[in-house]
Amino acid sequence: MATELPSAMCLVNGHEMHFKRGGTGPPLVFVHGVLGTHEVWVELAAMLAEEHTVILPDLFGHGASSKHRGDYSLGAHAAALRDLITACGLDRVTMIGHSLGGGIALQFAYLFPERVDALVLVASGGLGREVNLLLRAPTLPGSELVLPLIANRWACRQGNTLSRGLRAVGIKGGPDVAQAWHGFESLGDAAHRRAFLATIRAVVGPEGQRLSAREILPQIAVPTLVVWGKRDRMIPISHALQAVELIPNARLEVLEKAGHFPHLDEPERFAELIREFTGGQVGKAQSRGA
């Protein structure tokens, strides 16, 4: 059994950000998606902690971090992560972001290029308009009144009933359903629900994603690994194909049996990809320093 990473709190702009940190070596920062927490990365981080410093934050509005009233835009999340990384005494990091976290990682690389060694985008948001109805529904007018009822009702249902509902919008079983279950359970809490709506409405509207990073992708100079599940029904794989065409130093890895959470569907393969990718970046850095 992997050793549990220790928890810590950091004061960022007067608000508490919860994170886990462990390991030694070149630092990796793992950024979860909307309605997620650091827990989505725990198994993977434990695999990599022997060769890397791993940092797993709960974004503001998520997990054990503050759910204050404020700015939940991609840029605000990126700035908060910069302050966390600085507080941890780190200079440059590899950013690994999933879904919403991928959009935040992209913003981080664009806004603070001097702080990034490499970038890993996992089923990333921010690369195109199209997203699943499940992500667009909370942006509709009146959803703040409906969400408490949905969250409480779903929390009381059996898992197979939830699975049938998710299949109706194209979401398959396995980690995709499990993570949707955990996420919707959390919306029973009013503060969490308010922060969720502020976050999702900052990046998604009824017609799809509001923001596209396509115009900044050619300016992402760091080595970039794009990882996607072939069975992803939340964000189409076409976004990944377009991204690797626009990012100068990018490559795409498609996990054939994975859905929207490839790091959960195929954790060993995903860890292998990260080791291979980050090992190559360390070698290049050492060559430049020689």
Domains and their CATH numbers in the chain: 7-131+209-284 (3.40.50.1820)
Provide the annotated active-site residues.
99, 232, 260
Radius of gyration over alpha carbons of the chain, in Å?
18
HSE-CB of 151 using CA atoms within 13 angstroms: 20
For residue 123, give the 3-state DSSP assignment. coil
Categorize the per-residue pLDDT at 34 as very low, low, confident or very high, splitting at 50, 70 and 90. Answer: confident
Does the pLDDT value for residue 230 go beyond 60?
A: yes
**Residues ≥6 apart with Cβ < 8 Å to 208:** 128, 129, 130, 131, 136
Does the pLDDT value for residue 13 go beyond 80?
A: yes
**Residues ≥6 apart with Cβ < 8 Å to 268:** 47
Instruction: Give phi and psi for 204, each to the nearest 5.
Output: -130, 145
Does the pLDDT value for residue 210 go beyond 80?
A: no
What pLDDT, in 10s, does the model give residues 46-98? 999 999 999 999 999 999 999 998 899 999 999 999 999 999 999 999 999 99
Does the pLDDT value for residue 288 go beyond 50?
A: no
pLDDT at 130: 64
Name the residue with higher pLDDT: 265 or 190. Answer: 265
* Residue 176 CA: distances (Å) to CA of 17, 97, 191, 234: 26, 17, 24, 9
- The 10 Å Cβ neighbour count of residue 170 is 14
CB contact at 8 A, 77 and 202: no
259 vs 228: CA distance, rounded Å: 8
97 vs 87: CA distance, rounded Å: 20
252 vs 246: CA distance, rounded Å: 12
131 vs 226: CA distance, rounded Å: 18
For residue 108, give the 3-state DSSP assignment. helix
Percent of the chain with pLDDT over 70: 71
169 vs 72: CA distance, rounded Å: 26
5 vs 34: CA distance, rounded Å: 22
Categorize the per-residue pLDDT at 290 as very low, low, confident or very high, splitting at 50, 70 and 90. Answer: very low
